Structure 1
């Protein structure tokens, strides 16, 4: 919201400097994003009256002008502007003037002709980015009048960064109400008297969609002069609010929108064919908007239509066919209340951005449509002339305004300050809320211009804003707190992070919003949790896996020629499931997961180690390091994101906690990766339990190492054999390690050779050969039960 301070002070003029006013608005939640003069500094520029213009004797494009600058005797000034002519009033920079850019004006000779000053264009005064000639001033401007005083160039422009819940401050009247509530200064609203109808012509309007339009007000004005000139004061208000002057009728429409926050529209009645209908658009219905752009509509969009076709996009922009032109004679002035839900998102879908749409989708005052039409009528008759007909006002469905109660004690407790009951009541009266005393507090019916007041906390916020956030002391919270101990049976998340960092991984953070294609590719999730209002069209669902974000990070790094990556991320994933756990939202499950990615060389390139690509077992070791106390099991299984022969499900204490595997070749090709990364994704809850340390004596006796090679079926998982060996393990067995696996010459087809190394040690004495042989026989017997045979 951009506006000039002088315009605001016409409505409310508190005894505050410009700086203090900006600070007050900011501290009340209406952030002043920018503030500055309407024109850059310059001096000694006055109104000049061009008396005569003659050609320069030595230059075809220059003129010699006699200019009255209010000094009694005229000045001779050489000018090269193409539009200079006798009788014009233009800015005249006198000798000694300093223009923007430190351009100094001096008396000089131009091609041999003396020149005592300069006639200025708007661009030379820093008031425009480009101009075609001299800046033309009003014909009644007095020569010698300082230009800054004449045009109010010492005025200040302010730009507010309003939050979406405060659309009432998108108009000068609403902003004035706010300043009045903050300072106590009286509001001087424009005098709007109902205009008496002088003819009975009306336009029949049918509202066929009450869920689109809650109120529609209109009036016919006949015999207007569409070629009338917009007054200078109105042009100035529009230009300093960021709008350019177009024509008198359009300028009046824009002025009322900025003044009252009342978007409206003016139809050329001569182009309207029959009665009007407010309805939802038909599928594939076409509409040519102002400016000539054609849009294709459907039933999501509201329109105003005549008997022929749609003539206006409801709440957003008018149509080209019924736009006012210089030949317009009769107009239909319209002001409506469009339900915010019926306008929200439509501008973005059509890549349009309009001031009306910006206001309607946030919510405007539904009680001022008649006032808006009356104000439009008043200004049109004053500037363009004409005769007004009766106002027709239809109401279908307006927002309910439930009473809101606020307790004095609750206000004081939430804000941490102690305003009296009278002070609180005065604040609400100043805001125009008309509070009614009730037991322990006040009862308020929110005014029609405030759509954001519905619960007690909303009213408490209003008290805080008016008092000023800078006047509320920052106090630490006071309350009983219990220190929660970190038990040895649980590992915190930061311990898992530290483990991965120590192993060369770097943490990344990705959005929880993902493209739907990632869910299909990496999780085979056909029913992801969809977002009702995504921040971007491609980020339309919530992730059910962290894999997609890590792959995207890899893609970005690969484009920047990074040779080696180790990444991890911790975060929640979202799935549809009936909630059975405390803290879960019913209908959804939010699981905290830890995922990692390794890509490139197994180690950074160096002279001491041969270069090789990272593989499944490198990452498997990283995963095992995350659970030092609870041994993990890995079971070959198929995951939609991973290579079917190079992936495994991870188990801990009998529970499946995640996956580890190499990315599927299909996705390597689709996402244009140079090679396949190896990844893991684990539920953090499965990694946080930790075993308590238990004392065990350290044996003082030498360990015995024995190797055993067996032949087994090639499809036999090694983990099955290891589990079997530990099932009835002797007390002296300390470790079982597979150190060799072989298939080829000397091994029957369909079989494989596995070589295990066993470490045996006793805490009571040195193991004798007889006992060692008995233990090895027992272990061989266990393997034999699983179908293994001793390899000779």
Structure 2
């Protein structure tokens, strides 16, 4: 809402020294979001004066008609002689009063005026159009002023309103009253503590009889309808300059007098109006719901199919307007309209909002109706409009009018006088609540500490005690609410939160960069992962209103988001990339239920929360990583190393390490990984072996589908299961005795997992074993076809003595024996 300061001052007695920026600051502190303060005409300088056209000489020797004019500018030019000016406009005549920019003036946009020779004549200034002066957009010709508007030679900048401060307010949905000069003026009056002069306080006489026939089919659609007629209207009557100027300053394009009057009253009072050509209406004007299959061509020349949820205004011939949104073309005010019917109504805000979005048709009227307009304003607004038509367009306002009133009284709200203080934490003086609620128009009655408050009709947003508290707090000043540091609960982070942070730090330390992806995916992504048709990851929840038609599903795996992020980075020239992400995935439940609608007047109970949980999908938390290029870069320090499937497995081991669990890996076939380079990852929890994820090199088809570099590797773990496997951390006893080291190399079949060998060695070595570490895997002629040699370092240590060579050897032999029994391993010669 754009608010010219001079227009606002007509209805509120602002202090003389109050500037637009001061007012904007106060409005912002009171909760109205002021976007800008525009100083229109700030770059304009004089002399700009009134002039009288004395003589016009037509110059016909040029390609386009040119006029050489003698213009009387009085003593403004310093000589009193007529000014000679070249002008190409054709819409003025000798004797007309015009606006003249004399040499030395500067018009908006930095356009300097000087004396110069053009078309073979000396032109000493410019006769100005509305566009050149910044009054409004009009390229039809120059501005012709009515007689008596000003004296020749007088300064025109002030009377024309060429300089004006305009406050631009971004009106939130709960403050529809601020979409009017009336609403902002009332707000300013409260902020400055000055008088407010209500522009809606017009004298409305009782109807002299029955007006135009009207009916409301359903009170839930419209609870007030007013029709007022003006006859004998002159369709050629021009919109006065002051009205055009104010409309333009407010962001509305002047059209014609009848339309401009309805727009002017809407901006002034906040009540949208519609002007009909009454001669084109047939029968009773009825507010009703649209019928199935009904169509209407609106004023923007678009044929629209109406929905049965739309509210329409119809006559005997059918729908003539989408109520509160846009009128129909058939009953539009035209160049020959002499009988004007002004319609003012109060429609259901929700239905108007739905219609506006359904037809993708947002108008100035719909913006106001969907935010809520004053339900008692319609008769005053219609009366104001027909009065302006009579005053400016020569019309006669009919004494008989139609007024259908079905408005229900507002429900009073009961609130404690100290409620605002308890909400804000500020001890307001006694009477503060009553003072501010009465300032915004509420009717307040007190019974001890309890106030019964009836909100005014222009504030449909005031419905409960907290709304009323907000009014008190914002006028007292949000800036006066003290900033108090909340006291901590002392519990700190949960175990899960600490684990997630530790995982993030560990992967970052390992060289991975964290990314955050949208949790949306599509069928194309699932196909790119090469998932089988019966894979559980293909069962995804579909969004009712997706942001992207190609990604209508909630993700069941983190991998597609990671792959897209990797592809974006490699596509921008990064060759060595390692990324990780932690987040939720969403798995539909087998027996899905509908979530209950929870009450808002109390907290939900345990049963209600259980029903909500049952309706939600399973949401396990996962961590994923992807790596490509060099894991270790080459340089003066030596050769680099390309990332392989082993780096993806190692990333999973880093997660397991900070979680304090042992990760077991064994070969597996699982999409989207390469069948021969995929590891299934397990942990043990409460005696159970849990599958927690997979790691390895991606399948070539997946690499191609997502546009990834060859040999890209990835891993994905379910953090919730890893957390389940965590056991309480016990500080180890540190022995002061030396360690005994034994190396062992075992030859096994090529398909025996290294993890199984390690587990067997640990089980057989006994209580002296401190650690088992793999340091070599060999395949070749020396061990035979289909065989491999696996070498481990065994470290033995006792807490109370030095381990002897015999003890270490015996423990080593026992470990080898156990490995042989479990896996068929033999010592390498």
Distance in 2, matches of 1:736 and 1:696, equals 19
Q: How far did 1:610 drift?
A: 6.0
- Tell me whether 301-310 or 351-360 shows the greater mean CA deviation: 301-310
User: Is the partner of 2:157 in helix, strand or coil?
Assistant: helix
Map 1:325-336 onto structure 2 (within 5 A).
325-336=334-345
Partner of 1:633: 664
Distance in 1, matches of 2:328 and 2:781, equals 81
Partner of 2:716: 680
TM-score (norm 2): 0.82
Partner of 2:603: none
Q: How far did 1:740 drift?
A: 2.8
Partner of 2:794: 759
Map 1:104-119 onto structure 2 (within 5 A).
105=113, 113=121, 115-119=123-127
Partner of 2:809: 772
2:182 to 153, 156, 173: 173
2:477 to 455, 468, 472: 468
2:71–2:85: 8 Å Cα contact kept in structure 1?
no
* CA deviation profile, 1:307-362 (whole Å, cap 9, x unmatched): 65543333322232332212334444333333333233554454433212222232
1:550–1:597: 8 Å Cα contact kept in structure 2?
yes
Partner of 1:146: 155
Distance in 1, matches of 2:52 and 2:564, equals 67
Does 2:575 align with 1:563?
yes
Partner of 1:459: 468
Distance in 1, matches of 2:109 and 2:396, equals 47
Distance in 1, matches of 2:817 and 2:112, equals 104
User: Is the partner of 2:565 in helix, strand or coil?
Assistant: helix
Map 1:536-551 onto structure 2 (within 5 A).
545-551=557-563
2:212 to 197, 202, 206: 202
Does 2:733 align with 1:695?
yes
Partner of 1:161: 170
Partner of 1:618: 647
Q: How far did 1:668 drift?
A: 4.4
Map 1:121-136 onto structure 2 (within 5 A).
121-127=129-135, 131-136=139-144
Q: How far did 1:160 drift?
A: 0.9
Q: How far did 1:608 drift?
A: 6.4
Map 1:181-196 onto structure 2 (within 5 A).
181-190=190-199, 191-194=201-204
1:614–1:678: 8 Å Cα contact kept in structure 2?
no
Distance in 2, matches of 1:642 and 1:377, equals 77
2:416 to 395, 399, 407: 407
Distance in 2, matches of 1:745 and 1:268, equals 104
Partner of 1:45: 48
- Tell me whether 231-240 or 761-770 shows the greater mean CA deviation: 761-770
Q: Name stretches of at least 5 consecutive residues in structure 1 with no aligned partner.
A: none
1:263 to 266, 269, 272: 272
Partner of 1:17: 19
2:101 to 74, 79, 93: 93
Q: How far did 1:768 drift?
A: 4.3
Distance change (3 Å), C-alpha of 1:706 and 1:371: same
1:597–1:677: 8 Å Cα contact kept in structure 2?
yes
1:366 to 370, 375, 380: 375
Distance change (3 Å), C-alpha of 1:85 and 1:277: closer
User: Is the partner of 1:705 in helix, strand or coil?
Assistant: strand
1:732–1:761: 8 Å Cα contact kept in structure 2?
yes
Partner of 2:512: 505
Distance change (3 Å), C-alpha of 1:783 and 1:318: farther
User: Is the partner of 1:358 in helix, strand or coil?
Assistant: helix
* CA deviation profile, 1:242-283 (whole Å, cap 9, x unmatched): 011111222122122212211232333444455555555566
User: Is the partner of 2:656 in helix, strand or coil?
Assistant: coil
Distance in 1, matches of 2:94 and 2:308, equals 59
- Tell me whether 681-690 or 33-42 shows the greater mean CA deviation: 681-690
Distance in 1, matches of 2:155 and 2:457, equals 45
Q: How far did 1:515 drift?
A: 5.3
User: Is the partner of 2:52 in helix, strand or coil?
Assistant: strand
Distance in 2, matches of 1:424 and 1:527, equals 52
Q: How far did 1:53 drift?
A: 0.8
Distance change (3 Å), C-alpha of 1:366 and 1:551: farther
- Tell me whether 450-459 or 496-505 shows the greater mean CA deviation: 450-459
Q: Name stretches of at least 5 consecutive residues in structure 2 with no aligned partner.
A: 530-535, 596-605
1:391 to 392, 395, 402: 402
Partner of 2:599: none
1:342 to 351, 354, 357: 351
Distance in 2, matches of 1:343 and 1:644, equals 59
1:491–1:690: 8 Å Cα contact kept in structure 2?
no
Distance change (3 Å), C-alpha of 1:790 and 1:173: same
2:310–2:351: 8 Å Cα contact kept in structure 1?
yes
Partner of 1:375: 384
1:64–1:76: 8 Å Cα contact kept in structure 2?
no
Distance change (3 Å), C-alpha of 1:757 and 1:179: same
Partner of 1:648: 680
- Tell me whether 142-151 or 279-288 shows the greater mean CA deviation: 279-288
1:705–1:759: 8 Å Cα contact kept in structure 2?
yes
2:743–2:791: 8 Å Cα contact kept in structure 1?
no
Distance change (3 Å), C-alpha of 1:409 and 1:58: same
Distance in 1, matches of 2:442 and 2:128, equals 51
Distance in 1, matches of 2:698 and 2:179, equals 53
* CA deviation profile, 1:32-52 (whole Å, cap 9, x unmatched): 211123323211110111011
User: Is the partner of 1:703 in helix, strand or coil?
Assistant: strand
User: Is the partner of 1:13 in helix, strand or coil?
Assistant: coil
Partner of 1:730: 766
Map 1:209-228 onto structure 2 (within 5 A).
212-219=221-228, 224-228=233-237
User: Is the partner of 2:172 in helix, strand or coil?
Assistant: coil
TM-score (norm 1): 0.85
Distance change (3 Å), C-alpha of 1:673 and 1:254: farther
Partner of 1:33: 35
Indicate the RMSD between aligned Cα atoms, in angstroms: 4.2
Distance in 1, matches of 2:117 and 2:283, equals 67
